[in-house]
Structures are given as structure tokens and as C-alpha cells.
Chains A and B, each alone.
Chain A
Amino acid sequence: MFDFIAFIPRAVTQGVPLMLGSTGETLTQKSGNLNLGLPGVMYVGAICGVIGSFIYETGTPAESINGFLAVMIPLLSCLAGSLLMGLLYCFLTVTLRANQNVTGLAMTTFGVGFGNFFGGSLIKLTDSEVPSIALSATSSYFKATLPFADKLGWFGEIFLSYGMLAYIAIVIAIISSYFLKRTRPGLNLRAVGEDPATADAAGINVTRYKYKATCIGCMIAGLGGLYYVMDYSSGIWSNDAFGDRGWLAIALVIFTMWRPAVGIVASILFGGLYILYLFIPTGTNLAVKELYKMLPYLVTIAVLIIVSLKKSRENQPPAHLGLSYFREER
């Protein structure tokens, strides 16, 4: 019998980094910026959180660690790190009008290298036997659940067993969805991504919207990296462990048709598909496991095909996605 009560919480914890990543990327893409640097941004978000937490945790005696600071320091360093990545991307693509694809790919390479460099340095500092850093005290605050959650049986297991960042992720997704659909700035943002010349003529500051959406998007995505280290991996950082989750988050944006609310369910589904191979008895045949790991990507391809067959105007990417805007170009 398939064990749903064990499967769903694991799917959720797998899904939360994807949810944050794709919500951030959706906001970014709605402004017309195709940020392929997302994996790098999430990686930088994670390592900045780790650096902040490492400095606090190793510099403070275990008994005097303050729960509030243990959460806020990594959180703020993570936000600061990913904000800088967002600013860098915007400066290159919006202000200097560099090619978005090239910039994004370069930033992914940069972000991963940056993370591995500092990750490696911290590992050296700890003189640890294994190539990883454990920040268990910080992680315990990030993973804290409601005290009565484990007394509620399967309900507690499925709905209340997660750390605070998971709930924050859902709230952010819902707010983003409401923002895009029902608010004036949301409408303006959509217009910027669809047709910046029109938005410009309507008196919208295209550059400011692009900067804001991309930087806020990057900060949200950075939280995905932080969640991955502090909650999912219980505070253990090892280089390259983050894997291809950043790319998966970009795929998720397409999968959800640029709808953050759909992203909540979709990211959990993706999370489930990502670990499905662990729950399906495949014996010792590793090849079969690898095939199961392809599932999220296959589903994305299938969705792309179905959507392009439907040709509905609402489900298309923002029309100006990936292009830079220059007012006096004729």
C-alpha cells in the first residue's frame, strides 16, 4: 500500500523550495525579465544564510543562543544576498540592456561558484571530517513546529509538521497571486511584461517596475535556498547538494502558466514527483530509479505541448519576456 501519510509531508518539504523559487521567478517574468540566473540566486540565498548563521552560531556559546536572532540573522543575510543578485541582474539587463539569457546563465554559474567557494571555505574553517557544515542549532529554530502538532495524528503530520518558512511560502504565493490579479500595481506590472512601450506611454515607470519585480522575486527565490539548507537539510550545507532545484523552479513557472496560486499545488506535485522513486519499489535496478527522476521534466514537457495546442491567449508567457526595452528605439 502506498504510504500517503509519509509521502505527502516529504513531497511538501521537497516542494517548498520550488514554490518559493517559482513564485519569485513568476513575479520576475511578469515584468518581462526571464531570469535564468534563478538557480544561482537560490544558491547565493542559501549560502548567505549559512554564512550569517555560521558566524552567529560559532561565535555564541550554545546556551546563550537567542532564538529570534538565530532566525533573523540568516534570514536577513539570505535576503540581502539574493537582493544583490537581483540588483546585479537588473543592472545588466535593464540598465545596460544586456542579453537576458546570457546574463542569466552567467549568473547561475557565478552563483553556484560563489556558494561553493564560501561553502568550501567554511568547511575548511570547521576542520570537519566530512565535507559539510552542520548548523543544527539554527536549524532547530527554523524547523520548529507548533507544540501540539504531533498530537494530532495524520492531520498534524500532513498539515502542521512543517517549519515556518513553508507556511510563509504559501502566504507569499497567495499574496503574489492576489497582487497580480487584483491590484493596480499588479496590473501595471503585467502590462510592463506584455508591452513595455504601451506601459511607458501610459505613464508607468518601466525601469522601476522591472527592478522592483526582479529584486523582490529574487529575494523570494533566495528564501527557497534558505529553506532548503535550514529546514529540508536540517542545517547541513554541503557543496552542490542543492542540485537542479533552481531549474525545476523555472520549469514550474511554465507549468503553472505564470500563476503563483497554482504554484502552491504544482510545486508540491513536483516535489512528489521528484521523490516518487523513493516510494516506488524499484529493487536494485538503479536505471529504473533514474527514469522515475525524469518525471517532473516529462510532466513539464507534456504541459508545454498541451498548452501550445490550446493556444489560449491567457496562457501564453508575457509577450515581451526575454527582451529589453529601449524607449527611443524605432
Chain B
Amino acid sequence: MDSGKIAAVQMRNITKSFGSVMANDRVWLDIYKGEILALLGENGSGKTTLMNMLSGIYYPDAGQIFVDGREVVIRSPKDAFDLGIGMIHQHFKLVDVLTAAENIILGLHGEGKLDMKAVAARVREISGRYGFEVDPNQKVYDMSVSQKQTVEIVKVLYRGADILILDEPTAVLTPQETDKLFAVLRNMRDDGKAIVIITHKLNEVEAISDRVAILRHGHFVGDMPTAQTNAGEMTNMMVGRPVVLNIERPEPKNAEPRLEVSHLTVHDEEGVKKLDDVSFTAYSGEILGVAGISGSGQKELLEAIAGLHRAEGGSITYIEPGTGAREELVGKDPRDISDMGVALSFVPEDRLGMGLVGDMDLSENMMLRSFRRGRGFFTDRKAPHQLAERVVKELAVNTPSIETPVRRLSGGNVQKVLVGREISSAPTVLLTAYAVRGLDINSSYTIYDLINKQKERGVAVVYVGEDLDVLLELSDRILVLCGGKVSGLIPGRGATKRRVGLMMTRLGGGEGDE
């Protein structure tokens, strides 16, 4: 290895299996001080598992871990803290009803009596040093995603961590927030800390990391300085074969209005306005991208269209293909709406929350969509079984069998099942949210292909996405939401990330920015 670099962590022959699945197989990994390492790999390649063993969540079946050259045993998160290892998980580990400062000192030893003023002062000191913005007395449930992430990072630093692991930290951030995070990470690197960032976004690897290490199917494939590689090479190493990294965007054909949303206003259960006077038209054979900071009303928009959320005002008109008959959707039963050909595939943060039943197997989950079509008392199990087999084959779902409960599948595979089922219902309008949330690059492209195929079939696709790069490449038009209002509706071709990012954070932002 390079001279002059001091290894903070050395992992040797680390092996971990869950049941019959080998999550990590004799992995070697070195982490250096004053360096940002990007850990790259597809879903299920064992990146998070590997890092969880470093942070004490899991315990390796075999192998050795050295910290500062000394062999260590990490049995619990506490052991990891004591070694100066801190991990920022993909799902934040924060207690909602506590304040930032309370979350930060959680589990720490010290005087029994709490001196919150001293804690707050120390939090401010750390924030000042690296350029964070955090209010120690703010309750976590009042925070935005990016603020929560900041609290997580400060929490780890407060514990004196010298080795920071971030698991997909940018998945939920706007481009501006990502830039801010990266600036902070660079400050920490320059301060001599060792940083590992788990990701599958290649552009971020290139932007932030000094070195990249790649895992594939639980094996360590290789590592190299980021400057000496490129996206193509990294993808090939991740996937194990050459992959084309282009999202196609065919011109829409015979676009005609399919769904007209006008002046739609929606409140949530607590009476807070989630959508405010939203109007747009979705055309057949077109992908309408919806961009916005998470929680800007994307979920409510799709649910209102699908009839799952009550609309306080405005109208949603469905225009039937062929006949051109107009049908009002507001006030209609979700079942009637889906029978008309409006399909919703929503992948929530916890993936299983909506659309699939965790304890049921694949074909039973397929039946959730089709059971009403059956006649008679007994259910028809054959057709759903065939459908499940088809989805598994076409989308390369990695499952032991069709009879496996969905809960047991990894996140990416669960998603393929959900998206595959919705697409198979041959919709005329496909509403999809976060279809590739947490999916690796290969599966993501499979899904983009599927969506493009639907577009070519003349389906009006409404695509809510998190990854702006993809949104910009995939969508024919982009609807930008900001705080429940339409911030702008711009053509996808020629739109820039910066402009969309500004529109997401400020109504009408980025105007004339081109």
C-alpha cells in the first residue's frame, strides 16, 4: 500500500452468514486515517453487513479486525464507540421525542445528573469546528431529514469517533444538502479522521472519495484510488460484467392527455395542508417526473390520484384512451380507480409498509391484486403463481422459492416484486414512487427499462424519484414540488440539476438560472 498512510482499521478474512446466505466471505479491507473511502457494491453485496460488524451490530462468524494495529473484538456498539468507531445508519437511530442534545449523549457514561447546558455547549463547539448547523434543544420530530443526519454525525463525533462510517448518507438529501455534507466530510478528513461512505451512486464516489473499495456478492473485488478509475470500470467490477450506463429516453409518441389534475388541495390527518392548488396534465406515452424534497407532498399526490387520500379541493380527471370519455376520480373508491387502469406502486421508506404483506409468499402477494377477478368461493392460485414465476424470472428476483414470505427477501428484491406486480396489471396510468429506492445500479436499470417499456406501450407514467440525476435523464417533463405547491413544470431535456435543486427548496427558484 501507499507509504505514509496510517491504517486505522484492518479487516482480515471477515466472514458472516445469515442462515444459508453468505453475506461476507473472507473479506479484506483497510481503512486509512485522513482518507475518505467509498465502499461500493450492489444490493446484497454485503457492504452494510461488513460495516455493521465494525460498528458492533453484528458479530463476524470468522476473521480478525485490527484497530490501530491491535487485534480487537467488537461485540456491541459500545465496544465500537470505545474504539472510536461510529456509524451513521441509513435509517437514523434517533429517538423522536428527545432533543438533539439528549439524543447525542444517549448511552454515554458520566455523572448521573444531567447537565444539558454543558452538553449543548459542547455540541455547539463540535458543530462550529466542522461547519454543522444544529440546534441542541430542537426535538428530533421537528427536524428535516438533513437535520437529523447532522445530529447523527454530531452524535458520533461527540463520542470522540475517529472512524466514521456513513451508510448511504445522501439517499435522502437534496443536491444542495449533499454538497454541504460533502464539505463537512472533507473538513473531517482534513482533521485526520478515517471516513467510510457506503453508496451506490457513482457520481458521488467520484466527487467525494479518495479511494474506492468494491464488494460483489460478499466478496472483496478490489480497491483503487478514485482518481485512477472511472464509472464504467467501477460498474463492471460491481456487477462482474460490462453494463451500459445509459438511460434511454425515447421521444413520446402520440401523446394525448390521460390525467388532468387541477387545483388539487390535500390535507393530512392532522389537517396540515400537504398539497396546495396543484395542477398538471399527464400525457400518454410520457414519463412525468416528480421532484421535491421528501415530504413535499409527493406521497399525498399519488395517493389522492389513486383514491387513497381524500382531496379537499380540486379535481382529478381521467381521460379514457380511445373513447376520450372523461371521468372524475375525486370521491371514487380506490378499487374503481384501479379497475379503470390506474396502477400505483409506492415504495415507502420501510418498503413493506404499502402494497405487500410481509408474511405472505410471492404468489399470495400477487393475489392481492387479482383475487377480486375470481369467481366462486375458492381462490384461483394458479394464475398468481405463474405471475410470480414470471416476475421472478424477468426481474431476476433473488428468492429461494415462490413460497418464501416476502419479509425474508432483501429490500431490493421486495421492490422488484412490488413493481413487477403493478406493471403486470397492464395499467393505462402507472404511478410509481421511489421505485429504485435503495436498489443497486443493475436492478435500478432493470426498473428504468420496465418503466420505459410501459411508456412505449402508451402508458402515462408518473414517476416520483429521489435521485435527481435519474429523474433528469428519464423524465420527459419534470414537475417540481416545494412544500406542497408546484414550484415549476419544466421539460426534462435540457433541465439542469442545479435548477431543479433550487426549485425544490424555493418556490419558483432557479428561474433564469440556465
Give me the interface of A with B, judged by CB distance under 8 Å: 182-188, 190-191, 194-195, 197-204, 311, 313-314, 316, 319, 327-328
Binary CB contact string for chain B from 92 to 119 against chain A (1 if under 8 A, 0 otherwise): 0111111000100111111111100000
Decide if B390 is an interface residue (CB 8 Å cutoff). no
Q: Which residues of A contact B111 (CB under 8 A)?
A: 184
Q: How far is the CB of A109 from chain B (nearest CB, A)?
A: 30
| CB within 8 Å for A191 and B95 given contacts A201-B89, A202-B77, A203-B77 | yes
Contact B93 A197 (CB under 8 A): yes
12 extra A-B contacts, CB within 8 A, seeds A184-B114, A202-B106: A184-B105, A184-B108, A184-B109, A187-B98, A187-B114, A188-B106, A188-B107, A195-B95, A198-B95, A202-B93, A313-B97, A313-B139
A143 to B190, CA, bound (A): 70
Q: How far is the CB of A329 from chain B (nearest CB, A)?
A: 10
Decide if B514 is an interface residue (CB 8 Å cutoff). no
Counting from the closest, the 3 A-B pairs by CB-CB distance are A203-B78, A202-B107, A198-B93
Decide if B2 is an interface residue (CB 8 Å cutoff). no
Q: Which residues of A contact B96 (CB under 8 A)?
A: 194-195, 313, 319
| CB within 8 Å for A184 and B112 given contacts A203-B78, A204-B106 | yes
Q: Which residues of A contact B87 (CB under 8 A)?
A: 201
Count the B residues whose beta carbon is within 8 Å of the partner chain — how many?
A: 30
Decide if B130 is an interface residue (CB 8 Å cutoff). no
| CB within 8 Å for A316 and B93 given contacts A184-B114, A203-B81 | no
A183 to B108, CA, bound (A): 12
A96 to B78, CA, bound (A): 24
A328 to B81, CA, bound (A): 19
Q: Which residues of A contact B112 (CB under 8 A)?
A: 183-185
Decide if B236 is an interface residue (CB 8 Å cutoff). no
A311 to B78, CA, bound (A): 35
* Nearest A residue to B111, CB-CB: A184
* Nearest A residue to B407, CB-CB: A330
Q: B97 is contacted by which of A186, A194, A200 (Cβ under 8 Å)?
A: A194
| CB within 8 Å for A191 and B141 given contacts A198-B93, A202-B77 | no
Q: Which residues of A contact B55 (CB under 8 A)?
A: 201
Q: Which of B435-460 contact A (CB under 8 A)?
A: none
**6 A-B pairs in the complex with CB atoms less than 8 angstroms apart:** A183-B114, A187-B105, A190-B97, A190-B98, A191-B98, A203-B76
Most chain B CB inside 10 Å of its own CB: which residue of A186, A198, A314: A198
A201 to B86, CA, bound (A): 10
Contact A198 B106 (CB under 8 A): yes
Contact B95 A313 (CB under 8 A): no
Q: How far is the CB of B53 from chain A (nearest CB, A)?
A: 12
Contact B93 A201 (CB under 8 A): yes
Q: Which residues of B contact A186 (CB under 8 A)?
A: 114
Q: Which residues of A contact B270 (CB under 8 A)?
A: 311
Q: B114 is contacted by which of A182, A202, A327 (Cβ under 8 Å)?
A: A182
* Nearest B residue to A187, CB-CB: B102
A188 to B106, CA, bound (A): 6
Q: How far is the CB of B106 from chain A (nearest CB, A)?
A: 4
Q: Which of B45-102 contact A (CB under 8 A)?
A: 55, 57-58, 76-78, 81, 87, 89, 93-98, 102
A295 to B96, CA, bound (A): 35
A195 to B93, CA, bound (A): 8
Q: Which residues of B contact A182 (CB under 8 A)?
A: 113-114
Q: How far is the CB of A299 from chain B (nearest CB, A)?
A: 25
A170 to B178, CA, bound (A): 52
A182 to B97, CA, bound (A): 15
Q: Which residues of B contact A319 (CB under 8 A)?
A: 96-97
Contact B105 A316 (CB under 8 A): no
A198 to B106, CA, bound (A): 9
| CB within 8 Å for A194 and B95 given contacts A184-B113, A204-B107, A327-B57 | yes
A185 to B112, CA, bound (A): 7
Most chain B CB inside 10 Å of its own CB: which residue of A184, A185, A197: A184
A198 to B78, CA, bound (A): 12
Q: How far is the CB of A254 from chain B (nearest CB, A)?
A: 17
* Nearest A residue to B411, CB-CB: A330
Contact A201 B77 (CB under 8 A): yes
Q: Which residues of A contact B106 (CB under 8 A)?
A: 187-188, 191, 198-199, 202, 204
Q: How far is the CB of B27 from chain A (nearest CB, A)?
A: 19
Q: Which residues of B contact A198 (CB under 8 A)?
A: 93-95, 106
A195 to B106, CA, bound (A): 12
Binary CB contact string for chain B from 465 to 499 against chain A (1 if under 8 A, 0 otherwise): 00000000000000000000000000000000000
* Nearest A residue to B110, CB-CB: A184
Q: Which of B337-365 contact A (CB under 8 A)?
A: none
* Nearest B residue to A179, CB-CB: B112
Q: Which residues of A contact B81 (CB under 8 A)?
A: 203
A190 to B105, CA, bound (A): 13
A200 to B95, CA, bound (A): 12
Q: Which residues of A contact B139 (CB under 8 A)?
A: 313
Q: How far is the CB of A257 from chain B (nearest CB, A)?
A: 12
Q: Which residues of B contact A199 (CB under 8 A)?
A: 95, 106-107
Q: Which residues of A contact B109 (CB under 8 A)?
A: 184
Q: A183 is contacted by which of B89, B113, B141 (Cβ under 8 Å)?
A: B113
A314 to B105, CA, bound (A): 19
Contact A201 B57 (CB under 8 A): yes
A109 to B224, CA, bound (A): 65
A297 to B46, CA, bound (A): 53
Q: Which residues of B contact A314 (CB under 8 A)?
A: 97
* Nearest B residue to A188, CB-CB: B107
A314 to B93, CA, bound (A): 19
Contact B97 A316 (CB under 8 A): yes
Q: Which residues of B contact A316 (CB under 8 A)?
A: 97
Q: Which residues of B contact A184 (CB under 8 A)?
A: 105, 108-114
Most chain A CB inside 10 Å of its own CB: which residue of B55, B78, B98, B107: B107
Most chain A CB inside 10 Å of its own CB: which residue of B58, B89, B97: B97
Q: How far is the CB of A224 from chain B (nearest CB, A)?
A: 27
Q: How far is the CB of A88 from chain B (nearest CB, A)?
A: 27
A291 to B72, CA, bound (A): 67
| CB within 8 Å for A313 and B141 given contacts A184-B110, A202-B107 | yes
Q: Which residues of B contact A200 (CB under 8 A)?
A: 77
A110 to B108, CA, bound (A): 39
Q: Which residues of B contact A311 (CB under 8 A)?
A: 270
Q: Which residues of B contact A197 (CB under 8 A)?
A: 93
Binary CB contact string for chain B from 204 to 239 against chain A (1 if under 8 A, 0 otherwise): 000000000000000000000000000000000000
